[in-house]
Structure formats: structure tokens, C-alpha cells
């Protein structure tokens, strides 16, 4: 198993956490359309536009494919996409869970506090951002049973310490022989627990799994894990999958010393 972990101190007043659509509709557009909350974009482009210090892909989503070389291709930049769990960002509810299994949710409150919820039926009134995964992989320090989820895949996850002060962003590579097979949900929960998390949510994974980090000295944004997505028509070339939304951490500049 190989991957990358970002550990975020939520007590740092410079830190801000939020969920954003990768490419939101223009102001006054149909933001709540049933099939197009926004358009797909790669996480590194979103991180650069939002100036995130670190960002990961977020929602499971649906997108209608187009035919490319006789093959259906849903993941292309600019395609309409729709989260299939909770998505709340920029003051708007963009999506609700399509099924009960998509209610494991990361909530960022107006105060900046982050909470994780196993089966959220309604968003808290002070929600500033929210995004859903398909399972809790760690709940109150325990790893829930995950029957039928024994396969290893690339994984993206968000974890939170018991005191709520530390956020963990995890990108586990997978489907790459000789590098990393990926993780089962139970293995992902075990990893998060070992890192110090008390609760953790599994977000969209597979070819979508990507973590982007900004180099503070150069301003360069880089994908720091090794995505499993392969370029169409370019054998062996790995690339970011365009996604519908991103969970990012911003880092405000320090105030000058007077």
C-alpha cells in the first residue's frame, strides 16, 4: 500500500476548510439542475483557482458519457456532473443523497469546526460546506463491518481526531502492480486509526483519487499521489480524472509582525 497523508491542525487560525464545485455554473445559472450541478475539472486546476494549500477529490458523482473512438467516456473536462450524496457549498445546497448509503458526511460548520456523521438525514443549520462519501471506515475509534467490500481499490478518505482538532486527508494509490494494490475499507479504517483519527469517511476513490499540494515557496501545484486513471490512447500515461467537486484546505498568509 502506498499513498499520501496530509495532517491539518484545525486550531491554526490561518486554516480554512471548504468544499467547492470543480467548475460551478455561472451566477444565475441552473445550479440545482437535476443532472448538472457543475462541470467536471481536474483537482489541480481547482486547487490552483481556489489557492488551496492541499486538496482532494470528494463526491461520488454521475456524468453522462460521450463516445470517443467508439468508447463511452464520462470523465472529460467540461462534462456536466452531479454529486450523488450531500453537497453544500457557497451557500447553496447542490445535491442530496441518492440513497441511504451515501449519507456518511463531512460537515464544515460556520465556526470552522469540522464534524463527521455516519448517516446524516439533514444538514445542520450552521453548515458552511458538506460533502458525502459512501461509508464510515472508522466510527468512534472502531472499524465498522464492511461486508461485500473486501476488494482493494485506490481510496480517498477524510479522518478526524477525537478532540476534533486534527483533520486527516488520505489518498491511497491502487490498481498498480509493483507500486500499490490499494486498500479495502477495513484496511483504510485501520490506516486512519493508526494515524490518529477517531472517525473517518470514505470518499470517491478509484481513478478519481488525487491529492494536490501547493509548494509555498514556488506557488507550484502538484499531484502528490500516483493516480490510477490512464490516458485514453496514451498507454502507460497516468493522469488526473476530472471530478465534480473538491475538498480543500486554504492557508491564509501570516500577519506581518509589527
Q: What is the DSSP string of the chain?
A: --EEEEEEETTSTTEEEEEEESSPPPTTS-TT-SS-SEE-B-HHHHHHHHT-SEEEE---EE---EEETTEEE---TT-EEEESS-EEETTEEEE--SSGGG-EEEEEETTS-EEEESS-SS--TTEEEEEEESEEEEBTTB----TT--S-B-EEEEEE-TTS-EEEEEEE--SBTTTB--B-HHHHHHHHHHHT-SEEEE---GGG--EEEE-TTT--EEE-S----B-TTSTT-B-PPPBSEEEEEEEPPPPPP-
Is 57 in contact with 219 (CB distance < 8 Å)? Answer: no
pLDDT tens profile 197-243: 999 999 999 999 999 999 999 999 999 999 999 887 788 899 999 99
pLDDT at 149 over 80: no
In a domain, 257, yes or no: no
Per-residue confidence band for 258, with pLDDT thresholds at 50, 70 and 90: low
- At 26 the pLDDT is 76
Cα gap 110→104, rounded to integer Å: 19
241 inside domain? yes
Average pLDDT over residues 20-37: 74
Instruction: Judge whether 231 lies within some domain.
Output: yes
The range of the structural domain enclosing residue 150 comes to: 3-27+36-65+72-250
- By three-state DSSP, how is residue 182 classified? coil
Residue 68 scores a pLDDT above 90: no
Is 255 a domain residue?
Answer: no
Mean pLDDT for the stretch of residues 157-182 = 97
Residue 258 domain-assigned (yes or no): no
The pairing of strands 71-73 and 80-83 is unpaired
- Residue 69: predicted pLDDT: 75
Residue 205 included in any domain: yes
Number of domains in the chain: 1
Q: What is the pTM of this model?
A: 0.94
Q: Determine the pLDDT at residue 232.
A: 78
Q: pLDDT per residue over 77-105, tens digit each?
A: 999 999 999 999 999 999 999 889 899 99
Percent of the chain with pLDDT strictly greater than 90: 83
Q: Is pLDDT of 29 > 70?
A: no
**Residue at 93 is within a domain:** yes
Q: In this structure, is residue 220 part of a structural domain? A: yes
Mean of all residue pLDDT scores within the chain: 93
Amino acid at each position: 500500500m502506498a499513498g499520501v497523508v496530509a495532517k491539518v491542525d484545525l486550531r491554526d487560525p490561518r486554516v480554512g476548510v471548504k468544499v467547492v464545485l470543480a467548475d460551478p455554473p455561472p451566477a444565475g445559472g441552473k445550479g440545482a439542475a437535476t443532472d448538472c450541478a457543475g462541470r467536471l475539472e481536474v483537482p489541480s486546476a481547482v486547487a490552483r483557482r481556489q489557492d488551496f494549500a492541499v486538496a482532494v477529490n470528494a463526491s461520488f458523482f454521475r456524468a453522462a458519457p460521450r463516445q470517443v473512438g467508439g468508447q463511452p467516456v464520462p470523465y472529460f473536462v467540461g462534462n456536466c456532473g452531479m454529486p450523488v450524496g450531500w453537497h453544500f457549498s457557497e451557500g447553496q445546497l447542490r445535491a442530496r443523497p441518492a440513497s441511504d448509503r451515501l449519507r456518511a458526511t463531512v460537515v464544515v460548520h460556520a465556526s470552522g469546526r469540522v464534524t463527521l456523521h455516519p448517516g446524516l438525514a439533514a444538514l445542520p443549520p450552521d453548515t458552511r460546506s458538506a460533502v458525502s462519501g459512501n461509508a464510515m471506515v472508522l466510527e468512534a475509534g472502531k472499524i465498522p463491518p464492511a461486508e461485500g467490500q473486501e476488494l482493494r481499490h485506490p481510496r480517498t478518505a477524510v479522518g478526524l481526531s477525537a478532540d476534533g482538532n486534527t483533520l486527516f486527508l488520505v489518498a491511497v494509490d491502487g490498481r498498480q502492480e509493483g507500486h500499490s494494490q490499494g486498500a479495502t475499507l477495513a484496511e483504510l479504517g485501520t490506516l486512519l486509526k493508526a494515524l490518529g483519527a477517531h472517525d473517518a469517511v470514505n470518499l470517491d476513490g478509484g481513478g478519481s483519487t488525487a491529492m494536490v499540494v501547493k509548494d509555498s515557496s514556488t506557488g507550484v501545484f502538484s499531484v502528490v499521489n500516483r493516480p490510477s486513471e490512464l490516458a485514453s490512447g496514451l498507454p502507460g500515461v497516468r493522469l488526473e480524472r476530472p471530478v465534480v467537486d473538491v475538498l480543500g484546505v486554504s492557508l491564509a498568509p501570516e500577519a506581518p509582525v509589527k
